[in-house]
A and B are shown apart, each in its own frame.
Chain A
């Protein structure tokens, strides 16, 4: 079955360490996205990528970095510069096109706790 896989589901890191969250999709979707969710809040866009080797900052990109070397993969690195990294991170993908007539498929998320 096609889908989008995020790993790991839970991640614990010490303050000051960089950590990379994995996101892989086999839906042949062009666009991929990273969102952050804090308790009781909606999702906020960190980075997005429309095609391979290209990505754009979202609303809260500071302290994060991404790469898009393959269509299937869009890893997110939470760097030590991110002031408050503990959150639920969600990856999504969609067909890219001029029309908005395409839905997102989301992964099941990674809950990152920094201690």
Chain B
């Protein structure tokens, strides 16, 4: 599975868009990009995933670059409840490898 690189932490003002980057320069053709988030002392929650195209759902948007070597998770209007650790995972199988993620803090 491809390795991912994410910033350790980020801050975002409440109501603004939160843009969380992820580098996955060694991604291969059949590997998907997944995003999960983990609020303190809870199980991770699925947010969104994609292969090549940009994706949007009720929680977030996922922008994948054309060469697929990086992606950005966008939370369009961050709220205090979005404060969490966000994990970017790249996988071609059902088996995940988690890094340490990005700790997003939404500020009032």
Q: Which residues of A contact B (CB under 8 A)?
A: 6, 31, 35, 40-45, 48, 50, 88, 90, 92, 94-97, 100-109, 111
- Chain A nearest CB, measured from B59 CB (Å): 12
- Chain B nearest CB, measured from A57 CB (Å): 12
Q: Which residues of B contact A (CB under 8 A)?
A: 30-32, 34, 36, 41-46, 49, 51, 87, 91-101
Contact A40/B93 with A106-B43, A106-B44 known, Cβ cut-off 8 Å: no
- Residues of chain B within 8 A (CB-CB) of A35 are 98
- Residues of chain A within 8 A (CB-CB) of B42 are 108-109
Q: Are A90 and B32 touching (Cβ within 8 A)?
A: no
Q: Are B43 and A107 touching (Cβ within 8 A)?
A: yes
- Residues of chain A within 8 A (CB-CB) of B94 are 31, 50, 94-97, 100, 102
- Tell me the complex Cα distance, A42–B91, Å: 16
Contact A41/B95 with A104-B46, A106-B45 known, Cβ cut-off 8 Å: no
- Residues of chain B within 8 A (CB-CB) of A107 are 43
- Chain A nearest CB, measured from B99 CB (Å): 5
Q: Are A100 and B46 touching (Cβ within 8 A)?
A: no
Q: Are B95 and A105 touching (Cβ within 8 A)?
A: no
- Residues of chain B within 8 A (CB-CB) of A41 are 100
Q: Are B43 and A40 touching (Cβ within 8 A)?
A: no
- Tell me the complex Cα distance, A18–B69, Å: 44
The one of A40, A101, A103 in contact with B100, judged by C-beta atoms closer than 8 angstroms, is A40
The one of A6, A88, A103, A109 in contact with B46, judged by C-beta atoms closer than 8 angstroms, is A103
Q: Are A100 and B92 touching (Cβ within 8 A)?
A: yes
- Residues of chain B within 8 A (CB-CB) of A104 are 36, 44, 46, 96
Q: Are A103 and B34 touching (Cβ within 8 A)?
A: yes
Task: Please give 9 more A-B residue pairs, beta carbons under 8 A apart, in addition to A92-B44, A103-B46.
Answer: A6-B43, A31-B94, A42-B98, A43-B44, A90-B43, A92-B43, A100-B94, A101-B49, A106-B43
- Chain B nearest CB, measured from A92 CB (Å): 7
Closest Cβ neighbor of A42 among chain B residues: B98
Q: Are B41 and A109 touching (Cβ within 8 A)?
A: yes
